[in-house]
Amino acid sequence: MQIDQQLIRHCRKGDRKAQFQLFKSCFPLLMGVCVRYKKNEEDAREVLNMGFLKILDNLDKYREEVPFEAWIRRIMINTLIDDFRRSRKVRELIEYQDFQENPAAGELVDLNEAEKQFSAEELTALIRQLPPVSQKVFNLFAIDGYSHQEIGNMLGISDGTSKWHLSFARKKLQEMLAGLLNASRVIRQ
C-alpha cells in the first residue's frame, strides 16, 4: 500500500475529501487486521472506525521516515487491545479456565498441510472459534509477530500466561483441523 505524502498533508489540514480518500485507501489493510480479532464483521467495522479516528487525530505525530502502513497497523492493533480491555469485565489476571480437551480428537495436524487444503477464510473462521484471549494471543504472536513479553504488556497478562494461551490455541486449532481433514477424507471416499 502506497500513500502519497501530499494526501497525508491534506488530511492534516482537515480536508474531508482527502480524509475519505485515505480511509478508502487504508480500509482493506485495516479491515484485515480487525477481522482477525473480532468475532463478526460489524464489530470489526466498529473498531476500524474508532481506530481510523485515532489515525486522523494523530497524523501530526506521524514521521515520514516510518512506513505509513506499519504506523497505521500499530494504531489499529492498539485500538483493538484498548477495546478488548474496555470490554473485559474482570480486570484481574486472567484465570485459567477449565478447558476440557478432547483426547479422542485424533492425530496432530501439520498446520502447513492444512494451509494448503483450506482457504484463508476457513482458517480465519477456525481462529474465531477460539476463546477470546487465546484468539488474541494467537493473532498477536503467530500473525502479527509480537513477542510474549509484548503481548503480556498489551493484554495485562504474564509472559507465561501468553505462552499458555498460544499453546492452547495451537492444540485447539490442530484438533479442529484434524476433524475437518478427517471429514473431508470421508466425503471423498
Q: How confident is the model at residue 85 (pLDDT cuts 50, 70, 90)?
A: confident
In sequence order, the 6+-apart residues with CB closer than 8 A to the CB of 1 are 25, 26, 28, 29, 68, 69
CATH code of the domain covering residue 35: 1.10.1740.10
> Considering the domain boundaries, does residue 67 fall inside one?
yes
CATH of the domain at 145: 1.10.10.10
Residue 165: pLDDT band with limits 50, 70, 90 = very high
Clarify whether residues 83 and 123 are in a common domain. Answer: no
Q: Is residue 104 domain-resident?
A: no
Flag whether 98 is in a domain.
no
Decide if 80 contacts 51 (C-beta within 8 A): yes
Position 94 in a domain: no
- Residue 102 domain-assigned (yes or no): no
pTM: predicted TM-score of the whole model, two decimal places: 0.57
Q: Measuring CA to CA, which residue among 86, 177, 84, 91 is closest to residue 131?
A: 84
Residue 178, domain member (yes or no): yes
Cα–Cα distances in angstroms (integers) from residue 189 to residues 3, 105, 108, 178, 183, in the given order: 50, 20, 21, 17, 10
Which range marks the domain in which residue 178 is found? 109-188
Are residues 44 and 81 part of one domain? yes
Residue 176 · residue 129 · CB < 8 Å: yes
Window from 54-58, 84-88, 173-177 with minimum mean pLDDT: 84-88
73 and 12 in a common domain: yes
The pLDDT assigned to 6 comes to 93
140-143: long-range pairs with CB below 8 Å, 24+: 140/77, 141/166, 142/166, 143/36
Is 152 inside a domain boundary? Answer: yes
pLDDT tens digits, one per residue of 128-158 = 899 999 999 999 998 888 899 999 998 989 8
